[in-house]
Amino acid sequence: MKKDMANAIAVETRQVGKKFGSVTALDGIDIRVGSGEFVALMGASGSGKTTLMNILTCLDTASSGEVWLDGVNAATLDEEGRREFRARHIGLVFQQFHLIPYLNALENVMLAQHYHSVVDQPSARAALELVGMEHRLEHLPSQLSGGEQQRVCIARALVNRPPIIFADEPTGNLDEENENRVLDIFEKLHAQGHTIVMVTHNPVLGHRAERIVYLQHGRIVDAPEAISATARQTNGSRAFAMAASESARP
Amino acid sequence: MILRMLRQSWRRNPRRKLLSIATVFLAASLLSALMLVSIDIGDQMAREMKSYGANILMLPAEQAALPSLGDGEDNPLAGQSSLDESELPNIMDIFWRNNIAGFAPLLSGEVKLDDGLAVKVVGTFFDKRLTVPDEDDYHTGQRTISPFWHVQGEWPDDEKDEALAGSALARAHGWRAGMELTVGGAPLRIAGLLTSGGEEEDALVVPLRLAQQWLDMPGKIQAVRVSALTVPENDLSKRALRDPDSLDAETYDLWYCTAYVSSIAHQLEEAVSGSIARPIWQVAASEGVIIEKIQSLLIMATCAALLAAAMGIASLMTSVLMERSREIGLMKALGAHDWQASLLFYAEAILGSLAGGLLGCLAGWGLARVIGWQLFDEPLRFSWIVAPCVLLISVFIAVAGTWFPARRIARLYPVEVLHGRA
Ligand SMILES: Nc1ncnc2c1ncn2[C@@H]1O[C@H](COP(=O)(O)OP(=O)(O)O)[C@@H](O)[C@H]1O
Ligand SMILES: [Mg+2]
């Protein structure tokens, strides 16, 4: 497992901070995700997970620090550059799916191709097949269950073969059965070599990732037990989460 | 792909679009109706204004020297001299002949009926057939220039021995339509009773030919009432009226070739020898002004309708964009350019406005016809220029209405909508 880490680094942040007015959402975040890694980001509600994800996916900018994505410093990109980078390098999966309601499953996937380059129906079909949705191509989002919608959403994130897939609470709106399905897909993608960063606050799901990074009050901490232990928090937040290498999977 | 999105968006969610089409439709139908009406109303109104009576009175030059004929109530008995009936067709040969709606000669005097009763007689044309240059079957007379004459019974035939009895006169002597009187041994049938609101109500109105015979004035007339379509007077026309000779050649031509009541009157004087043509100012001066005022009123109403429609579209589009802000945020998150997101909404708005504009043109035409019937008893003409104008304006208001909300698209950050913070 540690083999990948030595190779390429997909995501690396250096002392990333984010303030919303007087609220400090992120404070000195250092993360490194190796290419092909499957990392879970965990933390209590309000701990800054979404804020960090938005910065990593170039939807938002950091107030301070550096964000390196595939060897590019996102802080140096302007809005147009971030748009371009998002289209080329990043697959997004949202908690609320965000499918276009009047387009069917296939068309929703093709839309991502349209904004990326050109529409290619066979490969859109293949992406839906990969998530087991080949029998629902013509269905509208409203005709699909939540789990099915999320799988369409994952297919849409995959279709342009982005180097990294980011998923913010992808199972937040799903029941247990569908949770497992989605995680199965992520594991399958991981096995195929995709880099995946997934936010969750379900420890069971978190432990299915290769590695868990814990966030608390906008800082990276060692382990969930550390939540109340301020002394350990100072230790933990300085260490690279990666170096701790507490890989959850046997 | 954008076409596909437009199609699907329309097919699967037509309610919103129908609403915006309906907005454009209403605006466009109002707009096209108002445009059609304002284009045609000039002619229609001018025609309608004729019901207020003739607007030029021609008199023999000697008699016109007498003062105070300005109020339109001529008194043909006041003078002795006369004009020649044979020169009347010249009226239809003047430069502005096409603006002459009609005319009627007048000859009046007192005649004794065979039963000894002396009555005032007015000879005129009712609907007389005349030989004039350029026109084969030209009829003119009181029926054309005095649409306010109300006849109970029938209009007399100019070629028969028939008359209209003024309603006051008929009441005084118990005459009814269809009765016969005798004048000079010959029968005279009362075809109808006349209510005109003028002094004809006390007279027996007969074909000119009979009056000339009874009054022993063959071929003579005392006055001509002329109804002409005119443009409003201005400084030039007033100066010309005072003294046409004071104009230099170029301004004279300009004046002569404009349908001022003064230049038409001037041309009428040239056409009938020994005559003086007097504009009846109250009617003549106000006609053009009233038409212009009504037209500018219509234009203002049209502008207000347009503004309202553009604002309607803008608020509709704003609420559409609010509703669909997640969609826009998603497109941007997937890497859409701002213009790509905006384009979709512009295209939707433009297509909707074309549909609404087209339907609105048709409805507006129908509306204009109804207005025409209601106001003028005849449909307004359809001017084709209105259709492209209305379509263009429809698209314009749709684009203008989308422009403000579309700028919000540009400012919208995907983070704000995708994670529910707006
Ligand atoms: N746009 C924003 N404006 C102001 N405060 C924000 C904004 N986004 C996030 N925050 C604050 O930043 C902190 C982290 O939020 P978030 O990243 O959404 O947490 P999580 O996703 O872990 O629940 C919270 O205290 C939240 O109130
Ligand atoms: Mg969150």
For residue B119, the one-letter residue type is V
CA of A23 to the centre of ligand 1 (A): 9
Residue pLDDT tens, chain B, 422 long = 778 888 888 877 777 788 888 888 888 888 888 888 777 776 666 655 554 556 788 989 876 555 444 444 444 444 457 899 999 999 888 888 888 889 999 999 999 998 889 999 999 999 999 888 777 888 899 988 888 888 999 999 999 999 999 999 999 999 999 999 999 888 999 999 998 878 889 999 999 999 999 999 999 999 999 988 777 767 777 777 777 778 888 888 888 887 788 888 888 998 888 888 888 765 555 566 777 777 788 888 888 888 887 888 788 878 877 778 888 888 888 888 888 888 888 888 888 889 999 999 889 888 888 887 877 776 777 778 888 888 888 888 888 888 887 887 777 777 777 765 43
Is residue A140 situated within a structural domain?
no
Residues B77 and B26 both lie in one domain: no
Last residue of a domain, one of B226, B258, B273: B226
Examine the domain organization and report whether B327 and B349 are in the same domain.
Answer: yes
Find out whether the beta carbon of A200 lies less than 6 Å from any atom of ligand 1.
Answer: no
**Pair B81, B153 in one domain:** yes
Residue A116 pLDDT exceeds 60: yes
- φ/ψ of residue B222, rounded to 5: -105, -20
B188 and B118 in a single domain? The answer is yes
Whether B231 contacts B255, CB under 8 Å: no
Residue B76 shares a structural domain with residue B148: yes
Domain containing A68 — which CATH number?
3.40.50.300
Ranking A155-169, A178-192, B323-337, B377-391 by mean pLDDT, the lowest is B377-391
A210 located within any domain: yes
pLDDT value at A230 more than 50? no
Ligand 1 centroid to residue A63 C-alpha, Å: 14
Lowest mean pLDDT among A50-59, A70-79, A83-92, B279-288: B279-288
Residue pair B39/B386 in contact (Cβ under 8 Å)? The answer is yes
Mean pLDDT of chain A: 84
- Indicate which of A114, A138, A168 best probes the interface with B, i.e. most B CBs within 10 Å of its own CB: A114
Q: Are residues B14 and B73 in the same domain?
A: no
> With a 6 A CB cut-off, is A47 part of the ligand 1 pocket?
yes
Question: How many domains, in total, are found in chain B?
Answer: 2
The SS3 call for residue A222 is coil
> Is there a single domain that holds both residue B10 and residue B62?
no
Structure tokens at B149: 């004459």
Answer yes or no: is pLDDT of A195 > 90: yes
Residue A123 falls inside a structural domain: no
B81 three-state secondary structure:
coil
* Total count of domains within chain A: 1
Q: Is B22 on the interface with A (CB under 8 A)?
A: no
Q: Residue A140's closest chain B neighbor by CA?
A: B12
Nearest ligand atom owner, CA of A48: 1
Nearest CA in chain B to A81: B335
Q: Which residues from A are below 8 Å from B331, CB to CB?
A: 111, 115
A111 within domain boundaries? no
B26 and B72 in a common domain = no
The verdict on B81 and B218 lying in the same domain is: yes
Please tell me what DSSP assigns to residue A61. -
Same domain (yes/no): B95, B73: yes
Check residue B274 and give its pLDDT.
87
Which residues in B lie closer than 8 A to residue A168 (C-beta atoms)?
Answer: 419
Q: Which of B202, B226, B250 finishes a domain? A: B226
Q: Which residues are bridge partners to B166 per DSSP?
A: B194
Domain that holds residue B338: 2-46+288-418
Task: Check whether residue B222 and residue B336 sit in a common domain.
Answer: no
Contact across the interface for B12 and A101, Cβ inside 8 Å: yes
In this structure, are residues B71 and B102 in contact, taking their beta carbons and an 8 Å threshold? no
Q: Which of A114-123, A156-165, B68-77, B386-395 has the lowest mean pLDDT?
A: B68-77
Look at residue B9 and tell me if it is in a domain: yes
pLDDT band at residue A105 using 50, 70 and 90 as cut-offs: very high
**Domain termination site, one of B193, B226, B259:** B226
The stretches of B324-376 forming alpha helices (DSSP H) are 325-333, 338-376
**B123 and B197 within one domain:** yes
Inter-chain residue contact A111 with B331, CB threshold 8 Å? yes
Residue A231 falls within a domain, yes or no? yes
Contact predicate A235/A229, CB 8 Å: no
Among all residues of chain A, which has the CA nearest to that of B415?
A59
- Provide the domain limits for residue A86: 9-101+145-151+161-245
Strand ranges across the sheet with A38-43 = A90-93, A164-168, A195-199, A38-43, A211-216, A219-221
Quick check: is A130 in a domain?
no
In a domain? residue B380 = yes
- Average pLDDT (A173-196) is 91
User: Does a structural domain hold residue A73?
Assistant: yes
Residue B250 lies in a domain: no
Helix (H, G, I), strand (E, B) or coil at B276: strand
Say if B257 falls within a structural domain. Answer: no
**Chain B, window 311-370: residues with a beta carbon less than 8 angstroms from a chain A beta carbon:** 326-327, 329-337, 340
What secondary structure, in 3-state letters, does A96-138 show? Answer: CCCCCCCCCHHHHHHHHHHHHCCCCHHHHHHHHHHCCCHHHCC
Averaged pLDDT, A190-206: 90
Least confident stretch, A6-20, A53-67, B63-77: B63-77
